[in-house]
A and B are shown apart, each in its own frame.
Chain A
Amino acid sequence: MTHSTGETTDHKPGIEMPKPTVWPMVLALAITLIAAAAALGAWAFAVIGGLLFVVSFCGWMGALLPGRGHESEPLTHPLPTTITGRTGTVEHLQPGMTGYRFRLPEKVHPISAGLKGGVVGGIVMTFPALAWGVLSGHGLWFPVNLLAGLALPSVDDLSVPELEQFRMGLFLIGLVIHVVMSATIGLIYGVMLPTIPGAVKWQIIIGGIVLPLVWTGVSHGMMGIANPVLQHYVDWFWFAISQLIFGLAAAIVVVRSEKIAVMPAGSGTAGERA
């Protein structure tokens, strides 16, 4: 940072600043009085407010005339403390130093791996879900229509025979929910699994078994609020199977993908030494 002159010139004793004026306050008061007159039906307020409006407006405009609205502010105030440089106080993190990359891995799976995992998981988990629909006697479209209830409260009002039919609107909404959730969770897997320490098997165990079971448990607790119709009809055994198959498929796809190196740190300031 350097300093340069603003409006200040070397020939004037001070800095030109706007002159204090009462007119903005009076104009605000005038407008408020007019508003109060409208609220209360007290028209005397309107008369006073109107007069103040005219006077303050003219006064304000007068301050805009050349040479009227500004004054020279003398430079009598003390100068700020001069900022001095402190060389050698910045430390760059370098490879091999404690804290370099912190706990972030130097190689990660590409974003596409997470997406692929989500897509594959999303495809394979439909098989147990649809199988449950068929085996329970409700048909293929029952689980799809139930899923749409996550976004559409009106699904609550449909009878079981109606939920068993193909309904284009519910199908499209269910499809969007399924694709978005699968892709999102796949992306989370892509980012998260490489950060799990230990062998690859732990990534598969956590991503393929632990997380789906946690997710199923949370769903079991919350589904009554989020999607009451699904809560009412769902079979939690089949629900858990679907989640496990998703998790296993997504985790396997992610951990099998080739890792790519991340741009190393070291360009830019990491922090101050003290």
Chain B
Amino acid sequence: MHVGQSLPRVDAYDKVTGRAKYTDDLVDKSALIAKVLHAQIAHGLVIKMDIGEALRVPGVVKIVTCFDVPDILFSTAGHPWSTDISHQDVADRMLLNRRVRLYGDDIAAVVAEDEIAASSALRAIRVEYEEYPHVLNPIEAMAPGAPQLHDAFLNNILKQTSAGRGDFEAAIQEPGLIRIEGEYETPMVQHSHLELPVSYAYIESGRIVIVSSTQIPHIVRRVVGQALGMPWGKVRVIKPYIGGGFGNKQDVLYEPLNAYLCQQVGGRLVKLEISREETFFATRVRHADKIRLVSYVRPNGRIVARSCDVYANQGAYASHGHSVTGKTMTAFRQLYHEEKAHRVTGHTVYTNTPAAGAMRGYGVPQAMFAVESHAEDIAAALNLDSLTFRRMNMMPVGFTDDFSKNVNYYDSLNQCIEKGRACIDYDRKRKLYQNQTGPVRRGVGMSLLWYNTAVWPISLEASSCRMVLNQDGSVQVQLGETEIGQGADTAFAQMTADVLGIPFHDVHMISTQDTDITPYGTGAYASRQTYVGGMSIRQTANMLKEKIISYAHELTRMQIYDLDIQNASIIHRPTGNALLSLGELATEALYSLSHSEHFSAEATYQCKTNAYSLGCAFAEVEVDIPLCKITLLNIVNAHDCGRLVNPQLAAAQVHGGMSMGIGYGLSERMLFDEKTGRLLNDNFLDYKLSTVLDHPRLETRFVENYEPTSAFGTKALGEPPAVPVAPAIRNAVLHATGVAINRAPLNPHELFTAFVSAGLIPTEK
């Protein structure tokens, strides 16, 4: 068995030695360099553009402006296409936009012989604008008279939906209920993947080839076809190794513009790399949410009714749009189960800020920050033990969701709580840290985590796989599902080895996806790949195995049902004898003069299930009140993500998520100049990603309940680790200081304001 073992990554040696090739390593040095001109107003119209001087810059090959591009609106979200029009993503942007909707909108592009010529030309372009007032905040954007971004969306509301259960108005009439209200805010943050968005494009045999750092090659092919108005088969997308995406590259970012620029220079090779600064304002961000929660609770802690209003900042373009808010709402609805009624409304609102898209957790980090801060607030208000309060109200074992048909098969939440509290010595510290008075105080806090796996039934869930047997009995495996640094290829190789009965090192993962060659799969998102990819691997490997065994039957005349493949040999099960090696069989089959066969298998598996992935985080902090600083002393995440395919890689996945959660809770936030709408901190100095010195040792714990709907017992782990960290830290600070801070990140600015108003920092009159 390979599944369940901490085998080394299949790409480890190539990555560590620098042999692994990423997009920028592959581009030919002859490439022309493209750069994008970004608007310097937050809202308005480009009236005129003078490119005369820019064209005279030596080395400039071509300049295209927003006046030149095809009049085609397209959507960029990395969702599977829907043939149902009502379910398609909103198409609201062009390759370059005359109508400017954010400071930094794409309005022109230069293609030049080198980077310096391209940059010099950008500086030489003169732009005249008609400027409109701008709006940066969703609440203001919804108000009557606010500047309107898109004509089709009144009051800037991209979408508003409601959901509920029970008779809310009747439920809150129950005598003796305590009403507790809280408003929670989460920041706009950026994925900050190490490798920048980069692509290059060229035309070959009348077709456009795009090599790109993307999570979703097959979706990029479709969107480029749509954006350029060309048949999808005329587009070929290749995805090499990529240096992180975290959801930003689950959007089609600049591949369509890159392809268009390539067309405009007669199909010559054009490279388009987006700088770090541009990545901040011109790619995607996580929706900044304001979430208002009201709970009606009995004095014993049982929630009777509750309501939730979500206001999500969509930014200038729809991208993933309300799908993200929808998941925020679902997380609110499902983590806790009140006795009688709930209602929830979500608003996703356009503003003149960077477009919000998918980012690790897809709306759930926002939901958990609000819901789990609120849970702590309720427990504090009622003077209840917060774990007891949670246990009284959280999703019960055996719960089945009407919509997804997800079943909460196990007592995962309690099992994770037990692991987390033991690891951090929660009970003892919870008591120890009560009633502190000094300037430096400690606290412990926790947060639950609700998540699910893949996107069914909201959207298509399917994965295709191809396996080809070599003469030596080894196999190549291809999937549309992508390795983006998380270790997917290694997990896939372990699964393949187990189903086929061959050693791990005999599985050759073809890491690169090429839409001309690789079977269709939608890519890396929604923590779906080990779950859905696992299904197509199991199906395809079984098909291949069946063909091999059928051939073994021909060679050995033993009964098909008595044959098996184990450790790369054809085994006769009744005797346990190894009849021949898989390599001998494969060689014979390929070169046989009587029956020659190339063994391959290819299949699509469509998945119509989903699975809960639950867990929690516990944090211990030290708060230096006069310095307004938090030191994170200890943190542990505990997850039930089903059976672990590779425990070491699973832990690494959790570490990465925890690190993102630490930044989300303590330091990361994009800031805008109110007057101009310009992003102020578009770099790693001013955007405070947390460093290794801001991290304690990251502890991980797992509960391995075998997921019954999964091909290998697995379920989501890609995104969940990032989710519960920020609220756990926030609740630990509440425990330490008694101050409830409802706005993340809990940076010194936020702490200073909060401590002054709480009287912990004296102010002089």
The reply to whether chain A is a binding partner of chain B is: no
